[in-house]
C-alpha cells in the first residue's frame, strides 16, 4: 500500500487533538462515560463552530474577490 501524506497529516492532527483533549478533560474518549445528551451537546457545539468558520471563510473569499476586481 502506498503512503498517503494527506491521511498521515490527518492522523497526526487527530493525535494532537486527542492529547489536547486528554489534558483539558483529564480522560480519553474511551474512558469518558458521558451519556447520550452529553455527546449530542458536544457534537452540536462543534457543528455550530464549523458553521461560523464557514461564514468567516466566505467573508474572506468575498474580500479577496473584491480586491482582485480593483486591481
For cell 468567516, name the residue: 56
What local confidence, expressed as pLDDT, does residue 71 receive? 80
Distance CA 10, CA 4 (A): 10
pTM of the complete model? 0.71
pLDDT tens for each residue of 13-61 = 999 999 999 999 999 999 999 999 999 999 999 999 999 999 999 999 9
Distance CA 12, CA 33 (A): 25
Amino acid at each position: 500500500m502506498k503512503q498517503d501524506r494527506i491521511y498521515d497529516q490527518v492522523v497526526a492532527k487527530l493525535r494532537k487533538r486527542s492529547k489536547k483533549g486528554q489534558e483539558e478533560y483529564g480522560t480519553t474518549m474511551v474512558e469518558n462515560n458521558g451519556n447520550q445528551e452529553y455527546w449530542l451537546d458536544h457534537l452540536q457545539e462543534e457543528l455550530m463552530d464549523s458553521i461560523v468558520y464557514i461564514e468567516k471563510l466566505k467573508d474572506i473569499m468575498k474580500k479577496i474577490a473584491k480586491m482582485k476586481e480593483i486591481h
